[in-house]
Structure 1
Amino acid sequence: MAKPAERQATYADLQAVPSHLVAEIIDGTLVTHPRPTPRHAAAANLLSYEVTGPFQKGRGGPGGWIFLVEPELHLGRDVVVPDIAGWRRERLSVLPETAYLETAPDWVCEVISASTETYDRVSKRRIYAGAGVSHLWLLDPRSKVLEVFALAGDSWLLVGTFRDGDDVAAPPFDVMTFPLSALWPLDVEGEVSPNAQ
C-alpha cells in the first residue's frame, strides 16, 4: 500500500501562526519557535549596529549595503527569517511593498539559540547555499562564539572562528574591526548595570 503524500505547508499556514511565534517554511514543513530571548535580541541588535554605520550609512566605512533585521525571505519554496540579512545596494536598490523579499541576501547572520540551532546549522545553511547567499555568520551568544562562512561552489567554507575577547574582522566586512565582546552588553567585566543597587 502506498504511503500518502505529506501535505506541504502553505503561506496561508504560515500567516495563521500566532504573532508571538516566529514561523518559517523549511523543506515544505511549517516550523515555529518562540521570539528570541533578550540575550539573543541584544546580540543581534548590537551586531546590526556594528555593520550598519560603516556599511549602510558609510560612517567610517565604504557604505553600499542595506540591512534588515528579521526579514521574511522567500527563497524558492522555503520561507525563512534570518536574524539579520544584508544586500549590496546594486542587488537591492528598492525595498518591495510586500511583507517579504524574494531577492536572496549577500550576507546572513543567524543568532543561534536552543530552539533554532538545528535549523540554523543544517537546513537553513543548505537553503542559503542553494539560494546563492555568499556569506553566512553564525553567532552563538551562549558560548560567545562567531563562526564565519563563505560560499565555495555549493558548500560552505569556514573562514574564521572568533571567541569572546577577539577582535572581529571577517568577510564581507573585513575592512572594519569590532570587539566580539561588544555584542554582550551586560557581560563586560567591570561594567556595572545602571539598575544595580
Structure 2
Amino acid sequence: MGQPAGKQRRATYADLKAVPPHRVAELVRGTLHVLPRPAPRHANAASALGADLHGAFQRGRGGPGGWWILDEPELHFPDPEVPGEEEALVPDLAGWRRERMPELPETAYFLRTPDWICEVVSPSIAAFDRDEKMPAYAREGVRHAWLVDPLQRTLEVFSLVPGRGWERGAVHRGAARVRVEPFDAIELDLSALWAK
C-alpha cells in the first residue's frame, strides 16, 4: 500500500548512501538533504581554519595538542522522532578531545558526539545549518559551535548551556585576531579565512 496523500516517506540511511559522491548528503529527522559541494570561498575558509587548528591542537605544533580535528566527518545521532533510526550530519569541521576519544573509530562515521563543530555558512545553506543542524548538535551535547560566514567575514561563537541550549557569544569580524573557546590557547587571524 502506498503512502497516505500528503505524507512523504521518511528517508533512511540507505537513501543517503545512494547519493552520488559529488554531492554532500545529510539526514536530519527523516529528511534527506542533498547539497552541492562547497563553493571556493566556503572551502577556503574551512581549509584555512582546519589547518590552523589541526597543527596546534591535533599535532601540538604551536599549541597544546590533545584533540582530533577533522574535515567533514559523518556524525550519527539517534533520530529523536523514530527509535532505532539515525540522523547523519556532516559539519565542515569537528573536534574531539582525545581524553574522550583516544582513538579514531574503524567505521566510516562517528557515533561519539564531538566537543566542537564548525559550520561554514553560505546563503543557500544558512537556514539549514542554523535551523536544523544547530538544534541537533545542542540536543546531542556538542559543547561549542562556530558559524563562519566567508561572505560577511564573520565568526559567530556559541556555547551550550545545559537545559537552555545555545548561548551566542561574541561575533568576530573582518581581520580580527581572536582567541576563541575551546581553542583560546592560540590566536587566530581571521583574515586568513577570507579569500582575497
Shared fold (TM-score greater than 0.5)? yes
Moved more, 133-142 or 157-166: 157-166
Alignment-derived partner of residue 158 in structure 1: 168
Look up the SS of the partner of 1:125 in the other structure: helix
Higher RCO by CA contacts (8 Å cutoff, separation 6 or greater): 2
- Output the amino acid matched with 2:117: V
Moved more, 65-74 or 4-13: 4-13
Alignment-derived partner of residue 93 in structure 1: 102
**Residue 124 of structure 1, aligned match among 133, 155, 161:** 133
TM-score, normalised on structure 1? 0.90
- Are 1:141 and 2:150 an aligned pair? yes
Kindly state the Cα deviation for residue 44 of structure 1 after the two structures are TM-superposed.
0.2
**Residue 41 of structure 2, aligned match among 39, 42, 45:** 39
How many Å separate the matches in 2 of 1:176 and 1:165?
Answer: 16
- Are 1:179 and 2:189 an aligned pair? yes
- Output the amino acid matched with 1:144: R
**Residue 103 of structure 1, aligned match among 112, 117, 123:** 112
How many residues are treated as equivalent by the alignment? 185
Look up the SS of the partner of 2:51 in the other structure: helix
- Output the amino acid matched with 1:10: T
Unaligned runs of 5+ in 1: 188-197
Alignment-derived partner of residue 121 in structure 2: 112
Unaligned runs of 5+ in 2: 80-86
- Output the amino acid matched with 2:170: G
Kindly state the Cα deviation for residue 87 of structure 1 after the two structures are TM-superposed.
0.2
Kindly state the Cα deviation for residue 158 of structure 1 after the two structures are TM-superposed.
1.2
Kindly state the Cα deviation for residue 170 of structure 1 after the two structures are TM-superposed.
0.6
How many Å separate the matches in 2 of 1:80 and 1:112?
Answer: 15
**What are the equivalent positions in structure 2 for 1:52-91 lying under 5 Å apart?**
52-77=54-79, 78-91=87-100
Kindly state the Cα deviation for residue 60 of structure 1 after the two structures are TM-superposed.
1.5
- Are 1:17 and 2:19 an aligned pair? yes
Kindly state the Cα deviation for residue 3 of structure 1 after the two structures are TM-superposed.
6.5
Contact 1:33 1:115 in 2 (8 A): no
Look up the SS of the partner of 1:30 in the other structure: strand
How many Å separate the matches in 2 of 1:23 and 1:117?
Answer: 15
